[in-house]
Structure 1
Amino acid sequence: MNAIPASTQTSAQAQPDVLFRVVNRVAIITLNRPAALNALSHAMVREIAMLLERVRGDDSIVALVLEGAGPKGFCAGGDVRAIDRLARAGERLGNDGWQQFFVDEYRLDYALHTFEKPLVALLDGVTMGGGMGLGQAAALRVATSRTKIAMPETRIGLLPDVGATHFLAKMPVETELYVGLTGAMLSGADALHCKLADLCVPGDWLDGYEARLAQTHFDGNVRDTLRRVFDAPCQDANASALSRHEALIAKHFNRRARVVEIVASLHAALEREPSEAERVWIEATLEALTHYSPTMLEVTREALLRGRQMTLAESFRMELGIVARAIDEGDFCEGVRAHLIDKDRKPRWAPATLAEVRDERVRQFLCSPWRGQAHPLADLGA
């Protein structure tokens, strides 16, 4: 079946931002903003949510595939600039306010995590932030040789959200803290190694997946049948760079150490004249931990640790409260200004250093702005 334009459009002449088609009883939703690496607008979130319900209610459809248009990215995340504009204009509440974007995004992610039909996510190219929220919900997560995964939110004064405080917990705690705090870029091989992907295939293997899908017979276990469609004769053989640093990660990212103590440990290791490979890794790690939002680094550490004991719904509720505080009274707008608008790369964080971040300030971020049933996601998971 040919692609059916969904209603989301950027202008009367523009291509729709979301495409929908059905191939051999499998629905395919395509994020169609390749020039923006398929970043999610609020309208796209709503459109995908409606299409999800359409697929859920259609008994002729046996599975769903999520993909991004173009070879460069599955989804680079939420449209941060749009959220920043709303925040600066004081447009938090209302159907089109920034708070509702996160509420709708988290509801969509939760619906995908709990979707009854097999879901496949093609994590090809850039897959960050909100893209991870979509992709990690899938029963079959297909990374490729072109995959570039990251949760870089601390860089702009947020925390890894979209369920990251839950799905990053698949990793050992030290690796989770490293990935969540530093926003380290992971390859497809890394994603497979740390359980953020189920397959890692050559990028061009996906080019012909629709032809294979069209010839597939769904007469048994649908998920297993889909795996055979997407699995390559040989999986991508590149070694995981992350795995080579596991000993260093385990040594420095102790769950009992605050971020300021992790930084001190890394500085001490540098003074001991490490090998060239270790020095490069330590310096890159310090670059992140000494330049990203000090407040959100410490908040993120605590949120990741708490998330390991939470249900998915509880994680989303915690994340929404932290995001709301980060945008309302934290470093978010300054982080966006420095890295995405003015691009001077000189954010004026408040406070400016990890040593100045007080425990009570961290606790404030982790204290929900809403009580009980007043929480916008109170009914999630009920």
Structure 2
Amino acid sequence: MKPPLLPELQSAGQVLAEVNGCLGLITLNRAQALNALSLAMIRDLTLLLQTWAAAPEIEAVVILGAAREGKPAAFCAGGDIRFFHQAAHAGDAALAAFFTEEYALNHLIHHYKKPYIALMDGVVMGGGMGLSQGAKLRVLNEHSRLAMPETNIGLFPDVGGGYFLSQCPGHVGEWLALTGHAIGAGDAIELGLGDVFVQSSSFPALIEAFRHGQQSSAEHVVATVMDKVDLAPAADHLKLRARIDRHFALPDVPSILASLEAERDDEWAAHTAATLRKRSPLMLAVTLEQLRRARGMGLGAELRMEREMVHHCFHLRPAAESETVEGIRALAVDKDHAPRWRHARSEDVTAAEVQAFFAPVWAADQHPLAGLN
């Protein structure tokens, strides 16, 4: 007996699944939390994608985020960081499972054998980038805001962030990774982080066609999108490209800061330096090292590196001394926006402290992501 096309899901309605003809449609349905990912959602997404990969009836998959009535859209704002904070303090094994299973899901998406289309409406950050960057067709609109803002909570750009940001032209990847700067559709397409632009006014009809129109083949599903493609906005970052490359090509964070702060008449440089000075000095250095290492890695190897890095984020020191736990506390728990970082300045971070985040945790054959190619 073959498995059903709509398996039983465990996330209590946080993930919705539909089948229309040859199309499997997934809706992230946690709108009041900006569709932030829970462990149950990650498990449901994995189950659906694996089920549909094995089903010849399904030829394509579309994923979108549920809307909040009367409020701006969000595809997915990332992982549930309050859960990270609680689980770290409680020593909850679900925290390790979250990252292992999320990264395996990201890898599955990048290597999915059928067209997987992401409708990247509104906020697409962190875990939302992990769900979309491996898509065969990444669909943006004028409300799309893409970012990897993890340094703001004392983390690093994970979910394959080292892999896809390091592939951006020049040293734009370092700029995006260190600052967490959000970009729009034009920049995303120019940087290889998006594929096509569709006006937000066309999204309701597009989704209606996916839900109720005739979807007879993968080619027809893709054509449904391409029929609504419009000219993308201009890429705002292009006028900054030379400055980004000059500063962010430098070998370490103190050099980048010194270079930016030397540009006394450049408002952009001053703002960028001020942003970096607010981040965890230690995790900025770790993030820069991640990007530089990732540039020579395949996705599987990079995700295995990230899995060891995130283990160190929560286990190198007790939870109360973790940069990541402290960053989440300041942003999302106490909301005082005054994180007490381990170091006051990037100049105080040592190379040994950075390298500790890249120390092996598991033997190669025991790594929780050993099976990723």
Same fold (TM over 0.5): yes
One-letter amino acid of the structure 2 residue matched with residue 74 of structure 1: F
Aligned CA distance change for structure 1 residues 116 and 366 (closer, same or farther; 3 Å): same
1:175-214 alignment to 2 at 5 Å?
175-213=172-210, 214=212
Identical columns (%) = 38
Shift in CA distance, 130/111, structure 1 to aligned 2, threshold 3 Å:
same
> How far did residue 53 of structure 1 move?
1.5
Matched, 1:323 2:320: no
Alignment counterpart, residue 357 of structure 1, candidates 323, 346, 349: 349
Aligned to 1:244: 239
Alpha-carbon deviation of 1:257?
2.2
| 1:44 partner SS | helix
Q: 1:160-218: per-residue Cα shift (whole Å, max 9, x none)?
A: 00011111122124101001110001111111111100102211211111444454565
Letter in 1 for 2:142: S
CA contact (8 A) 1:4 1:19 kept: no
Letter in 2 for 1:318: M
1:118-133 map, 5 Å: 118-133=115-130
| Partner SS state of residue 141, structure 1 | strand
Task: Report the equivalent of 2:148.
Answer: 151
Deviations 1:271-297 (A, max 9, x none): xx23xxxx1x22331122101111111
Q: Cα–Cα, structure 1 residues 234 and 9, in superposed 2: closer, same or farther, change >3 Å?
A: closer
Residue aligning to 1:24: 21
2:53 corresponds to = 56
Superposed CA offset, 1:230-249 (max 9, x none): 13555254222122211211
Task: Tell me what 1:303 maps to.
Answer: 290
1:1-382 alignment, distance < 5 Å: 7-10=9-12, 16-70=13-67, 72-91=73-92, 93=93, 97-213=94-210, 214-215=212-213, 218=216, 222=218, 225-231=220-226, 233=228, 235-254=230-249, 256-270=250-264, 273-274=265-266, 279=267, 281-328=268-315, 329=317, 330-381=322-373
Q: Could you list the per-position Cα deviations for residues 48-97 of structure 1 after superposition, in whole angstroms to 9, with x for gaps in the alignment?
A: 11111211121111100011101511100110110110001122x3xxx2
2:107 and 2:226 map into 1 onto residues whose CA distance is 26
User: Given residue 95 of structure 2, which amino acid in structure 1 is its aligned partner?
Assistant: W
> Secondary structure of 1:360's partner?
helix
Structure 2 residue matching 1:78: 3-state secondary structure: coil
Is the contact made by 1:149 and 1:186 (CA closer than 8 Å) also made in structure 2?
Answer: yes
Residues 201, 232 of structure 1: 8 Å contact kept: no
Deviation at 1:9, TM superposition (A): 4.3
Q: Which AA in structure 2 matches 1:303?
A: Q
Q: 1:51 to 1:204 in 2, by over 3 A?
A: same
Cα offset, 1:373, TM superposition: 1.5
The answer as to whether partners of 1:23 and 1:210 remain within 8 angstroms in 2 is: no
Change (3 A) 1:368 1:288: farther
CA distance change for structure 1 residues 323 and 69 in 2, over 3 Å: closer, same or farther?
Answer: same
Distance in 2 between residues matched to 1:51 and 1:232, nearest whole Å? 27
Q: Look up the equivalent residue of 1:343 and give its one-letter code.
A: K
Task: Please tell me whether the aligned partners of residues 23 and 59 of structure 2 are also in contact (alpha carbons under 8 angstroms).
Answer: yes
2:196–2:229 CA contact under 8 A, matched in 1: no
1 CA distance for matches of 2:222 and 2:55? Answer: 22
Letter in 2 for 1:86: A
Q: TM-score scaled to structure 2, two decimals? A: 0.92
Contact preservation (8 Å) 2:185, 2:232: no
State the SS of the aligned residue for 2:278: coil
In 2: Cα distance, 1:57 partner to 1:126 partner: 31
SS in 2 for 1:263: helix
Q: Is the 8 A contact 1:145 1:236 kept in 2?
A: no
SS in 2 for 1:27: strand
Amino acid at match of 1:229: T
Give the paired residue count: 359
User: SS at the partner of 2:171?
Assistant: helix
Between 1:367-376 and 1:19-28, the stretch displaced more is 367-376
3-state secondary structure, aligned to 2:102? helix
In 2, the alpha carbon distance for the partners of 1:379 and 1:354 equals 36
Output the CA distance in 2 between the equivalents of 1:211 and 1:88.
44
Task: Please give the secondary structure, in 2, of the residue aligned with 1:303.
Answer: helix
Counterpart amino acid of residue 27 in structure 1: G
Instruction: Tell me what 1:13 maps to.
Output: none
